[in-house]
Amino acid sequence: MIQFMQQLINGISLGSIYALIALGYTMVYGIIKLINFAHGDIYMLGAYIGFVFATKTGMGFIPTLIVAMITCSIIGVVIEMIAYKPLRNATRITALITAIGVSYFIEASTQKVMGTNPRAFPNLLPKGNLNISGVVITYQQIFILVVTVLLMIGLQFVVTKTKIGRAMRAVSVDTDAARLMGVNVDQTISFTFALGSALAGAAGVLVGIYYNSINPLMGLVPGVKAFIAAVFGGIGIIPGAMLGGILIGVTEALVSGYGSSLYKDAVVYVILIIILVVKPAGLLGKNVREKV
């Protein structure tokens, strides 16, 4: 039982990071139907920006997090402007290949600039842990959970209560109708990219602190897993991404706790395929009939 609780807690803290990345995927997919393959690399850039900022200035956790989030949102918007905007009316496959190209470009450039070796992320959070009748919770895990929950509440507020949030929802339901109603679609898409990339940047910093080590290819696997989380919860649905992220994290922790950690990635892919085949709309998604 203690081991189960322990794995559950590890899973939730890992899953909340997946959820942060998944939110970016799900928002972008909801709005322009693009699997932004480069999203995982923005998360990696977030970790590196945090690393450079924290080691150069020696500042603490909050400034590092904010700098990483702002820089990442700018990078996200620039990528959207250069690579995705010219392809607004192209096929989805064309857009997906472009996204793969962007992802390659970012990874290789980071490898060139920062070197291929892993770097040690500075420890910005207090060390130590709580011991609740045998279940160990580190302060870092608590911090990660608190930050994630705060960011998600913030996002939920932006999406449901503000004007730009309403524009985002309108564009995702029907782009043309939203444009006719006077919504600035391009601006809204840019804002969506900014928001998603900021969350990915935050996730990058949190992972850097949690695992203590970052490398230029760290975005690849979590990126794919976060996408799986988004599909799991129902792509385009914001609470779905949070739920999916946590579930994927917990599954992974339980598989490595009870089974073999070597197969934890394979299990996640199997979940993806089962979801896609059984309920492609995801856990919280509604089945939409295809109109001919």
- Using CB under 8 A, which of the segments 42-50, 138-146, 151-159, 274-282 binds other proteins? 274-282
| CB neighbour burial string for 192-210, b if at least 16 within 10 angstroms, e if fewer | bbbbbbbbbbbbbbbbbbb
| Distance separating the N- and C-terminal Cα atoms of the chain | 52
- Using CB under 8 A, which of the segments 43-51, 103-111, 150-158, 239-247 binds other proteins? 103-111
Any residues with CB less than 8 A from the CB of 204 and at least 6 apart, and which? 42, 43, 44, 45, 46, 47, 48, 49, 50, 68, 72, 214
Q: What's the rounded Cα separation, in Å, for the pair 14 and 206?
A: 10
Site for other proteins in 139-178 (CB under 8 A): none
Which helix (H) or strand (E) covers residue 144, if one does?
helix 139-161
Any residues with CB less than 8 A from the CB of 270 and at least 6 apart, and which? none
Quick note: the x/- pattern for other proteins over 11-40, rule CB under 8 A, is: ------------------------x-----
# of chain residues touching other proteins (CB under 8 A) = 43
As measured in angstroms, the least distance from the Cβ of 119 to other proteins is 17
Of 37 and 61, the one with the shorter C-beta distance to other proteins is: 37
Token pair of 127, please? 């060390």
As measured in angstroms, the least distance from the Cβ of 101 to other proteins is 3
As measured in angstroms, the least distance from the Cβ of 17 to other proteins is 20
Quick note: the x/- pattern for other proteins over 51-90, rule CB under 8 A, is: -------------------------------xx--xx--x
Nearest to 183 by CA among 165, 171, 196: 171
Site for other proteins in 203-222 (CB under 8 A): 220
Q: What's the rounded Cα separation, in Å, for the pair 264 and 110?
A: 27
- Using CB under 8 A, which of the segments 6-14, 99-107, 126-134, 198-206 binds other proteins? 99-107
Query: Using the rule CB under 8 A, is 224 a contact of other proteins?
Result: yes
Of 147 and 254, the one with the shorter C-beta distance to other proteins is: 254
Q: What's the rounded Cα separation, in Å, for the pair 155 and 219?
A: 22
